Amino acid sequence: MNGNATTTHRNVALLSVSSLMAPLITTSEEIDRRLEPVLTRLKLPTGLLQRVAGVYERRNWGPHETFDDAAVKAGKIALREAGIRPSDVGLLINTSVTRKHLEPSVAVRIHHGLGLPSSAINFDIANACLGFVNGMTLAAQLIDSGQIKYAVIIDGEDADEIQSNTIERLGRPGIKRKDFMSEFASLTLGSGAAAAVLGPADAHPGGHRILGGVTRAATQFNDLCVGSVDGMFTDAKALLKGGMELVVSAWTEAKRDWSWSNMDRYILHQVSSVHTNAIVKATGMDKTKIPLTFPTLGNVGPASIPITLAREASTLQPGNRVLLMGVGSGLNTAMMELVW
């Protein structure tokens, strides 16, 4: 019995991918200074974020900026670069983890901000850090089926509140070393926005073909990383072990249908140096072909893959093979191949 869900696409291309960076920079040294009393009390060294996670900076929005406004801006850039009018869009999928409220969807605000037609289907997909790749897969299936012609996948993230809440809570009396380490990952989160436009490949010969990919679930690990606006609580050791077991299983079985051992670029979900090194060891992929954005942007959730792809786009040549790949809380993994 197959453990992977495999998807192939006949006539879908990525027409554009854009990113928008939050303007404020928060350094790990600054966070160390704010946490100095608790680090001293717990006898923990400064520089853990840099040495353990490899995160030196992350971005934050300004006082009058919001993640959904940023997502709208990223979407407008992507539509302009793709040469697609808002009136031609048939589908909008928002994949943001961040949300101001439970309902309505974040997608309705973005749909309105982009000036999309009333006929454009719009909704949120929530699947932790894999949401953007999942959204691309769903949109590609609808384009292949002829139900829609163009789709916008979009994501905006705001780590400001969770960052502030975590630092405040870690500074309280009674916090123990295990409490600190369970919230360590929250301090790596960053803010940003990204968008992509998908459409039919035969109508856009200059587009980047989406060939397909695989997903695989290991939901027995659903409680290893649980997040809210208050904080993100992880069992880091068990999460890494379960995640790598999942990646190896998916990677190994995918060899039946795909050949991903020698891609021109691997665009990974950006978590940390520990996470990246573990994936390299587990799969044998060439580390020199993995661009890194987490050192200066942190973990921007579902936006991290499209942000990294957008930054790398100018270095890619026609015909280059690109693999989008990530592991999301829950656990799930997704891998998607594009031909540039």
Active site members: 103, 129
Residue 58 main-chain phi, psi, to 5 deg? -145, 160
Give Cβ neighbours of residue 252 (< 8 Å, ≥ 6 apart).
Answer: none
Amino acid found at 338 = L
Query: How far is the C-alpha of 157 from the C-alpha of 174, rounded, in Å?
Result: 31
Closest of 107, 53, 96 to residue 302, by C-alpha: 96
Residue pair 285/266 in contact (Cβ under 8 Å)? The answer is yes
Residue pair 126/157 in contact (Cβ under 8 Å)? The answer is no
Query: How far is the C-alpha of 231 from the C-alpha of 92, rounded, in Å?
Result: 29
Residue pair 209/13 in contact (Cβ under 8 Å)? The answer is yes
Bridge partners of residue 212, in order along the sequence: 8, 337
Residue pair 214/259 in contact (Cβ under 8 Å)? The answer is no
Q: How far does Cα 298 stand from its chain's mean position? A: 11
Query: How far is the C-alpha of 230 from the C-alpha of 159, rounded, in Å?
Result: 11
Q: Give the tokens for residue 189.
A: 């989160």
Q: At what angle do helices 106-114 and 67-82 cross, to 10 degrees?
A: 50
Q: At what angle do helices 236-254 and 273-283 cross, to 10 degrees?
A: 30
3-class SS of residue 117: coil
Query: How far is the C-alpha of 274 from the C-alpha of 54, rounded, in Å?
Result: 8
Q: How far does Cα 114 stand from its chain's mean position? A: 22
Q: Give the tokens for residue 10.
A: 């006949």
Q: Give the tokens for residue 201.
A: 């490949």
